[in-house]
């Protein structure tokens, strides 16, 4: 194993001549390594930012703006939450599945943070707004037929 290099007077004089304070060669090397690390990190972040920007631009260009489906889904979820909170004792719910057929929707909701049974919610779109039809844990086919719910929403 080789002994570590000792700093010679010439090295220290070179540091002083460059305008560096005489803190020793180790401090000079540490500062230089720190600067190199910052430079490498800056270059890496710049490259990542450019790649992210290019990817986002490509995704934006190829994807049409999600106007109707996302807004419709958000409106359905918001109306369902309001209906369930109004018609039940649950304070918080999670919506686990959603199926939509024309102007009818079936949602499976689960209470969060309390003991309770999962429920099925049927919603109907009337004049562009979702309204709650029924909230329950099970339905007979005759009841679903009477509410006008399409057969495609009867089963999971």
> How would CATH label the architecture of 68-153?
Roll (3.10)
What is the average pLDDT across 55-77? 57
More confident residue, 89 or 43: 89
More confident residue, 7 or 132: 132
Long-range own/partner contacts, residues 108-117 (CB < 8 A, 24 or more apart): 108/156, 109/80, 109/84, 114/90, 116/89, 116/90
Q: State the pLDDT at residue 106.
A: 93
The whole-model pTM stands at: 0.54
80-123 pLDDT per residue, tens: 999 998 988 888 888 888 889 889 999 999 988 888 889 999 99
* 26-35 as b/e: b if 16+ CB within 10 A: eebeeeeeee
pLDDT of 35 higher than 70: yes
């Amino acid at each position: 194993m080789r002994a570590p290099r000792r700093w010679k007077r010439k090295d220290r004089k070179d540091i002083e001549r460059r305008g560096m304070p005489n803190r020793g060669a180790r401090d000079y090397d540490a500062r230089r390594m720190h600067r190199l690390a910052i430079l490498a990190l800056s270059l890496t972040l710049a490259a990542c930012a450019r790649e992210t920007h290019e990817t986002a631009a490509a995704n934006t260009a190829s994807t049409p703006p999600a106007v109707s489906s996302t807004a419709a889904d958000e409106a359905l979820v918001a109306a369902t939450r309001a209906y369930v909170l109004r018609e039940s004792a649950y304070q918080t719910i999670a919506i686990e599945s959603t199926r939509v057929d024309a102007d009818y929707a079936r949602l499976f909701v689960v209470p969060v943070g309390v003991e309770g049974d999962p429920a099925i919610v049927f919603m109907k779109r009337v004049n562009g707004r979702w309204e709650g039809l029924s909230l329950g844990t099970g339905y007979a086919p005759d009841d679903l037929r009477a509410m006008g719910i399409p057969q495609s929403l009867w089963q999971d």
